Amino acid sequence: MTTIDKAPTVQRRSAGTGTPATRILGIITIVSMVWLVAFGLGFSPADRDQEEAVRIMYVHVPTIWIAYLAFVVTAVASGLYLFGRKKSLGWDRLAGASAEIGTTFVAMTLVVGALWGRLTWGVFWQWDARLTTTALLFVTYVGYLAVRRLGGSHEQRARRSAVIGLLAVLLLPLVHWSVRLWRSLHQEATVLDTDGDIDMDGLMLFSLFVGVVAFTLFYIWLVLHRTRVMAMEDMMEDHGLDEALAARRREAATLNGEEN
């Protein structure tokens, strides 16, 4: 952990990472979350087979959608860092912030999915193809985040994590198609299916749509804030390193003066 001296230019009572745009986005996100709860728990009808348990779908499906989105953003940002002409650390921070959010959302998918599984299958967990590949996805991105925390310069961190970010995203098709590749307890995709036929009640589909929109807005809001926090963490680290180098130089100069 670095220490930083309070410089005279330091601002007090800072607004943090917020801007008017993120505040507006935050308010829209909260409103859409309220809509999600109203439709998910209230207005949407019960399912013929699953009855009330289907209501878990309105939070379960959007969580894995955000995880997919977040990991694709991580891969794209990693590619832009690795192959872009200007090796901007901004891409690396976006990749890292997105992977953090995606990993948390995969964890939520697994936990909420386990609750849904208990109601529909009678068990919290099965070593089923979809569940196992999703758990593998989670572990892979925990590994990605661990690699980001290894020592070295920002550029070293960016380079090695970008390579992993590009490789890890290859798991997404495996997770998504696992229900078709292997025999699975988990149902096949209802919306993102290849035949384009959506076999779902209109109000249920709308509730799911509200969930996806609400969580996507939340993802955008959070990734903006987290990227800014990461930029400040990098600045603090650089400042700490500069301070340490200056202290070492002063120490060396004092020792040289005593010898002379």
- Cα–Cα dist 98/75, whole Å: 10
Interface map 113-142 toward another protein (x if CB under 8 A): --xx-xx-----------------------
**How far does CA 24 lie from the centroid of its chain?**
21
Structure tokens at 194: 């290849």
Q: Which listed residue (55, 130, 148, 157) binds another protein by CB under 8 A?
A: 55
Binding another protein (rule: CB under 8 A), the pick from 32, 56, 80, 179 is 56
- Burial pattern 201-228, b for ≥16 Cβ within 10 A else e, equals eeebeebbebbbbbbbbbbebbbbbbbb
- What residue type is 255 in one-letter code? L
Q: For residues 63 and 40, what is the distance between their CA atoms, to the nearest angstrom?
A: 14
Secondary structure (3-state) at 196: coil
CB closer to another protein, 5 vs 259: 5
Among 18, 79, 145, 216, binds another protein (CB under 8 A): 18
Instruction: Give the one residue of 123, 139, 146, 232 binding another protein; rule: CB under 8 A.
Output: 232
Residues that bind another protein (CB under 8 A): 4, 6-7, 9-19, 33, 37, 40-41, 51-53, 55-56, 59-60, 63, 101, 104, 108, 111-112, 115-116, 118-119, 218, 222, 225-226, 228-229, 231-233, 235-236
